[in-house]
Amino acid sequence: MPIFAAFSLAAALSAAPAAATAPDTLEQRVAACLACHSVKERGDAYFPRIAGKPFGYLYNQLRNFRDGRRHYPMMTYMVTQLPDAYLREIADYFAARHPPYAAAAAGSGGSASAAQLARGETLVRQGDAGKQIPACVACHGAALTGVEPATPGLLGLPSDYINAQFGNWKNQTRRAAAPDCMADIAARLSEADVAAVSAWLSKQAPDAAARPATSLPAPLPLACGSVPSSTTGSAQ
Ligand code: HEC
Ligand code: HEC
């Protein structure tokens, strides 16, 4: 599993004589991140792309790993004890970068049927009023590129990674500021719906020239505590 190899690499980096203490420049720090979050690693079925996501989203996630609202040992190890100011610099670094996308990893979504993909697309674009699931595009943007300052884009992510995040929201091992809109939405999606959505999303070709939207045409359908001033939207 590449996670293990990269972890050894990170450990080797910090054990190298030239870096007997923790890395102390931004370049050294992000070099360790790139071992997993780089173009080369896109063939892996699990590493999420972080380049080009909105600054506020990345900063929130780094703090979430550090402070125990998200759980993934490798990530906690990378950011544990880093002060907010450093996490801000790292988030800023990655938000400003837009490397090309590599070919998508097939992952579990690769074997989805036409009917599953159709269901996935319907949920993304229209939601399911009967199950009180809002359209994903209502918050993530019509082109799914994310929205400044704190909503991530959804393209270029492996289906297995997306499935795992929904599992984490359902198990409450991934949390964001209250009201935690994604946890509420995850609770309304069946496992089959999650698989349909993740398969469809992972099959869309991302555009490297796309950037997060700067605004949405309408208020959010649900309030999200991690999105500033979204609490004015009409909560369901
Ligand atoms: C050993 C491999 C590895 C290294 C090294 C690593 N990451 Fe990660 N990172 C991951 C994995 C795997 C995930 C997904 C974890 C999960 O399921 O929540 C992740 C998740 C993230 C996320 C959340 C992504 C999202 O879309 O929500 C951010 C932000 C992030 N990493 C930043 C960093 C930064 C900054 C560094 C360097 C300081 C770093 N990572 C180093 C493997 C790594
Ligand atoms: C009410 C607004 C809203 C709606 C509707 C919504 N999202 Fe989200 N989503 C967010 C916000 C805000 C975040 C960032 C949460 C955080 O900070 O952890 C997010 C995060 C995510 C992430 C994490 C991305 C990553 O890189 O880890 C995924 C996956 C996701 N949403 C999928 C979906 C899907 C699929 C749908 C439709 C079924 C959907 N979302 C509908 C607001 C929304």
More confident: 110 or 11: 110
As for ligand 2, residues whose beta carbon falls within 6 Å of it are: 48, 57, 60, 123, 133-134, 136, 138-140, 151-152, 154, 157, 162, 165, 176, 181-182, 185, 197, 220-222, 224, 226-227
Q: pTM of the full predicted structure?
A: 0.90
User: What are the structural domains, with CATH classification, of the chain?
Assistant: 2-95 (1.10.760.10), 108-232 (1.10.760.10)
Q: What is the pLDDT of residues 222-236, one digit of tens each?
A: 999 999 876 544 443
Q: What is the pLDDT of residues 58-69, one digit of tens each?
A: 999 999 999 999
Contacts for 119-128 with beta carbons within 8 Å, 24 or more apart?
119/192, 119/193, 119/196, 120/196, 120/197, 120/198, 120/199, 120/200, 120/201, 121/200, 123/189, 123/193, 123/196, 123/197, 124/154, 124/197, 124/200, 124/201, 127/221, 128/193
Q: What is the pLDDT of residues 187-211, one digit of tens each?
A: 999 999 999 999 999 999 888 899 9
- pLDDT for the residue 108: 80
Q: What is the pLDDT of residues 56-110, one digit of tens each?
A: 999 999 999 999 999 999 999 999 999 999 999 999 999 999 988 877 666 788 8
Q: How far apart are CA 230 and CA 207, in angstroms?
A: 27
